[in-house]
Amino acid sequence: MKALALAVCLCPLVAVAASEPAKSSAWHIESQFALAPGMIGEWDDWAIASPTILKFAGKWWMFYEGVMFDESGVRSAFGIAQSKDGLAWQKHSQNPLFAPALSDTQSCSSPSVTRWRDAFWVVYTVSEDPFHAAPTESNADEAPVTARLARSEDGLIWREMAGVRLPIFSKIPYPFRPCLYAEGDTLQLWWIEPTNEGDHALFHSVSRDGEKWSAPNQQPAKEIDAREICCARVYPSGNYYILSYVAYDEKRQQYSLVTKISRDARSWSAQGPPEFPLPSHFAHPTPWLLFENGGARLFYSAQQRDNTQHLRSAYCEKKAYASP
C-alpha cells in the first residue's frame, strides 16, 4: 500500500463531556493544546471545533468553527489559524473571517474546507432553532437543516455561492457533518444521515462546477461497522480511499475514532492507525486526522473543567500501523 502521505481530515465536530480520553498505548497525547478558545466575550470564547487542516503557500492552514456562549445563547462563526510545523498555531488577527448571513433563528456549524481550482471552498450546515423558528404552512413543527457552499480566493474573503442547492437537506433536526474534498475535476461530498427505513447510511454526491450535484448514492452504515457511527470523512490517498469516523460502543459506553481504507470506496478494511478512544461527545464532534511521513496526527475537541472546548492533538507513529 502506498504511504498515506495526503493531509487527511477526520470526521468531525465534537463537544465532549470528559477532559481526557482513555489511554491508548499507540497514541501519545500532546500536553499542550493545539488551539484554545478566546477570552470571555470574544467570538470563540467557548469552543474550538470542526478543524480542517490544509498545506498552502508553505504553511499549514487550520480552518475551524469558533463557538461563543453568552446570554443570547450559542453562536458560531469560522476562522483560521496558521502554523509552520503543524504543532504551534497562531490565530488570524482578523478572525472570524467568515460569519455566514443567518436569521435570528438560524445557526451554522460543521465547516469542511478543500482547495480546488485555485480557490478555497467550504461546505457547512445551517439549522433552524426548533423552538424559535417562525412556523410556515409546510413545516409548522419542523426545523429544516440545509448545507451551504462558499468560496474564497485567498481564504480570507468569502463569497456565498447563491442559488446552489446541495443534496444535504432535512426537515427534522439532524447533526449533519459534511466532508468536502477535491479530486481532479470534481468536488466530492460525503455525509451520514438517516434513511427512510430508519437506519443510517453513508451518502456521496459529486459536482464538476460546484453548482450542480449528482443524485447521491448510499451505503448502509451497518456494512461499514456494526456499531453506531457518525462524523464520517472520506479522502483519496494514492490508489486508496481513507475513511475515518466516530463509532460508539454501547456496551462499553465508549466513543472511538476509527480509520479504514478501500480501493473502491465501498469495501472497507480496518487498516491504518489503531482506534483512538475519544471523550464522550455531544455537540461538536469533529476530529481531524493528518498523515505525516512518520505517522498520523489527530486533532480533536476536549471539554475542560470550565466546560470550554479546547482542541487537543495526539500522535501515532507509523510503526504502530504500517509494515516496515
CB 261 within 8 A of CB 309: no
Please check the confidence at residue 4 and state whether its pLDDT lies above 90: no
Structural domains of the chain ordered from first start: 27-317 (2.115.10.20)
Instruction: Give the residues across from 194 on adjacent strands.
Output: 200
pLDDT at 101: 94
Q: What is the DSSP string of 77-130?
A: EEEEEEESSSSS-EE-TT--SB-----TTEEEEEEEEEEETTEEEEEEEEEE-T
Residue range 48-60, pLDDT digits in tens: 999 999 999 999 9
Residue range 298-319, pLDDT digits in tens: 999 998 888 899 999 999 999 9
pLDDT at 284: 53
Averaged pLDDT, 189-213: 95
Residue 221, helix vs strand vs coil: helix
CB atoms within 10 A of CB 82: 16
Instruction: Please state, in angstroms and rounded to a whole number, the distance separating the CA atoms of residues 7 and 27.
Output: 18
pLDDT at 44: 97
pLDDT at 142: 54
pLDDT at 3: 36
pLDDT at 11: 34
Averaged pLDDT, 64-72: 90
pLDDT at 271: 84
Averaged pLDDT, 136-155: 78
Residue range 266-278, pLDDT digits in tens: 999 988 899 999 8
pLDDT at 197: 83
pLDDT at 53: 96
Averaged pLDDT, 225-251: 92
pLDDT at 12: 33
Residue range 272-298, pLDDT digits in tens: 899 999 876 655 567 999 988 899 999
pLDDT at 14: 32
Instruction: Please state, in angstroms and rounded to a whole number, the distance separating the CA atoms of residues 140 and 281.
Output: 30
pLDDT at 211: 96
pLDDT at 81: 98
pLDDT at 193: 94
| Lowest-confidence segment of 82-91, 98-107, 140-149, 308-317 by average pLDDT | 140-149
Averaged pLDDT, 158-163: 94
Q: What is the DSSP string of 289-310?
A: EEEETTEEEEEEEEE-TTS-EE
Mean pLDDT (the chain) is: 87
Instruction: Please state, in angstroms and rounded to a whole number, the distance separating the CA atoms of residues 232 and 178.
Output: 8
Q: What is the percent of the chain with per-residue pLDDT over 90, rounded to a whole number?
A: 71
Residue 319, helix vs strand vs coil: helix
pLDDT at 260: 95
Please check the confidence at residue 16 and state whether its pLDDT lies above 70: no
Confidence of residue 129 (pLDDT cuts 50, 70, 90): confident
Query: Residue 290 is placed in which grid cell?
Result: 493528518
pLDDT at 203: 97
Residue 42, helix vs strand vs coil: coil
Instruction: Please state, in angstroms and rounded to a whole number, the distance separating the CA atoms of residues 160 and 151.
Output: 7
